[in-house]
Amino acid sequence: MAGVSDDLLTTYQLAPSILSADFARLGEQVSTVMDAGVKVIHVDVMDGHFVPNITIGPVVAAAISEQVHGAGGVLDVHLMIENPERYIDAFAAAGADWINVHVEACVHLNMTLSQIRAAGCKAGVTLNPATPLSHVQEVLGDIDYALMMTVNPGFSGQDFIPGVVPKIERARHLLPDHVGLQIDGGIGPETIETALDTGANLFVAGSAVYGAEDPAAAAGQLMAAMRARGN
C-alpha cells in the first residue's frame, strides 16, 4: 500500500467525508463513491471537547478499512479531539493510513507527528481558519500533508470561508513538493473552482457528496473538475 498511498498524497484527490453519509448503510455508501473512482475516504473524529460535536471512533474506522484497502484506497482520519496522542495507535490499528492532528490541540506537536509515522501512517498537520500558517514552519520535516480548514471544525454543511484562500496559497509555496495540501469544509460544485485555484490538491467534501441525491454523480462531477486541471 505504501506506493499507492504516496501517489495519492500529491495528486488531485476527492476525499468524501463519511460524516455526511447514511450510517445505517455505511459500507454501501463507501462503495458508491469508490466505484465512482474515489480513492481517499475521510473520517471526521470529534470528541465534544475540542469541537462541540461528537462523532465516531476507531470502531467505525475498523468497520470500513478492509473494504477501502480492498478497493485500492486509503482511510484519512481527521482528529478533531483533545489529546490526540492518546488515540493514534488505536486508529492505526483500525486501519487508518493517513492521520492528521490540529496544532491547536497539540502541546507536543513534533512528538505527536512522530508518533503517527511510528505507527506506520502518513502524518498531517491541521490549522483552523484563524490559525497562522507559521505554525507549520517548524514541522515541515515531520509531515506528509497539511490541512487548511476552510470552515471552523465541528459540523458538515457549513459555508466555505473565502478569507482562508490567501493562507492556502501561501501554504502551497511553503510546503515541499512531496507534501500534500488538503482543504476541508464547504467544498462543492459552487466552490470547487476557487478551491482548485488555491493550489490545494486534496479536497474533502461531505454534504456536497453524501447530501446529494446521487452521491456517485456528485463525486464524479467534482472529480471531473479536478481532472480538467491535470493529474
Q: Interface residues for ligand DX5 in 87-126 (CB under 6 A)?
A: none
Query: Is residue 44 a contact residue for ligand DX5 (CB under 6 A)?
Result: yes
**What are the DSSP calls for 160-210, one per residue?**
P-GGGHHHHHHHHHHS-TTSEEEEESS-STTTHHHHHHTT--EEEESHHHH
Question: For this structure, is 89 an active site residue?
Answer: no
Query: Is residue 198 a contact residue for ligand DX5 (CB under 6 A)?
Result: no
Query: Is residue 208 a contact residue for ligand DX5 (CB under 6 A)?
Result: yes
Q: How far is CA 115 from the centre of its chain?
A: 18
Spot the catalytic one: 6, 35, 44, 214.
44
Which one of 31, 67, 83, 158 is in contact with ligand DX5 (CB under 6 A)?
158
Nearer to ligand DX5, 58 or 186 (CB): 186
Query: Is residue 128 a contact residue for ligand DX5 (CB under 6 A)?
Result: no
Nearer to ligand DX5, 112 or 207 (CB): 207
| Alpha helices, DSSP H, located in the chain | 2-10, 26-35, 58-70, 88-94, 109-118, 134-137, 165-174, 192-197, 207-210, 215-227
**Sign for the pseudo-dihedral over CA of 84, 69, 67, 12:** positive
Report, in Å, the least distance between residue 80 CB and Zn ion: 7
Question: For this structure, is 184 an active site residue?
Answer: yes
Question: What residue 186 binds from ligand DX5, Zn ion, none (CB within 5 to 8 A, per partner kind)?
Answer: ligand DX5
Instruction: Name the nearest CA neighbour of 135 among 106, 163, 103.
Output: 103
Which one of 57, 129, 157, 199 is in contact with ligand DX5 (CB under 6 A)?
157
Binding region for Zn ion (CB under 5 A): 44, 78, 184
Query: Residue 132: CB partners within 8 Å, gap ≥ 6?
Result: 167
Region of 13-21, 69-77, 93-101, 171-179 interacting with ligand DX5 (CB under 6 A): 13-21
Backbone angles phi, psi at 181, to 5 degrees: -125, 115
Query: Is residue 78 a contact residue for ligand DX5 (CB under 6 A)?
Result: yes
Report, in Å, the least distance between residue 153 CB and ligand DX5: 4
Instruction: Name the nearest CA neighbour of 93 among 105, 108, 75.
Output: 75
Query: Residue 69: CB partners within 8 Å, gap ≥ 6?
Result: 1, 75, 95, 97
Name residue 125's amino acid: V
Residues that bind ligand DX5 (CB under 6 A): 17, 19-20, 42, 44, 78, 151, 153-158, 184-187, 204-208
Q: Return the active site residues.
A: 44, 184
